[in-house]
Structure 1
């Protein structure tokens, strides 16, 4: 189970939080981070197993717990803004293989906006947040 949880967590981070991947790799702490996250949910996994929960459901529940502090994804948010509001730039960046790199740069450029709006799952649909991010992305791309 530990290996499966490690793989699922890493896949989630790569897909939704590549800025964290870069940071962890820079600090040579990816393995430690993953190990700490997995070890923290092992008691939950054991409890759910003892209760007779199916293996796949245990993994799903553990992944949910391990990724709570990684949501919502600033990466996915900015990526969707570029795709929806700047489709030409999105297409060009994707074709050039620079989309992930530029979105990670934009996360840093939009950090103040995300902090000002206290970006959370509850307010990720805030239109004022979206307009502010669109403006910052526009300034960055154009």
Structure 2
């Protein structure tokens, strides 16, 4: 089950947090990250197994815990803003094959905003956050 959880967690990271994926690959720490995350849940998984819960329910609960600190996705948040508010640039990046790369760069450019205003499930719909991110995206695109 642990190997399955590692594979599912990695797939989740690739889809929702490519900035983390690139960082882990750059540091050659993918396996350590996955091992540490899954190992931290080992006792919880064993308790659920002792209760006789089906594997798919245990995996689902484990995935909720493993991905809790990875939500919401900054990647999808910025991608959505770029696609809706900066359509021409979004299409240009997508057509050139650089969309993921540019969004990862935008995540880094917006890092201070995400930290200062906070980025969480509770405030991901904040206008203040959205406008601050849009301003940073506009500056980023101006300098391209």
Q: TM-score range by the shorter chain?
A: over 0.9
Q: Which SS does the other structure have where 1:123 is aligned?
A: coil
| Distance across 2 between alignment mates of 1:132 and 1:4 | 39
RMSD of the alignment, in Å? Answer: 1.1
Unaligned runs of 5+ residues in structure 1 are none
| Distance across 1 between alignment mates of 2:3 and 2:82 | 35
Task: Give runs of ≥4 in structure 1 deviating > 4 Å.
Answer: none
Q: Which SS does the other structure have where 2:41 is aligned?
A: helix
User: Which residue pairs with 1:123 in the alignment?
Assistant: 123
| Distance across 2 between alignment mates of 1:58 and 1:86 | 41
TM-score (norm 1): 0.95
How many correspondences in the alignment?
142
Q: Which SS does the other structure have where 1:120 is aligned?
A: coil
Offset, 1:52: 2.1
The C-alpha deviation readout for 1:80-135, integer Å capped at 9, x for no partner, is: 11111112221221121101100000011111111110111111110110011111
Unaligned runs of 5+ residues in structure 2 are none
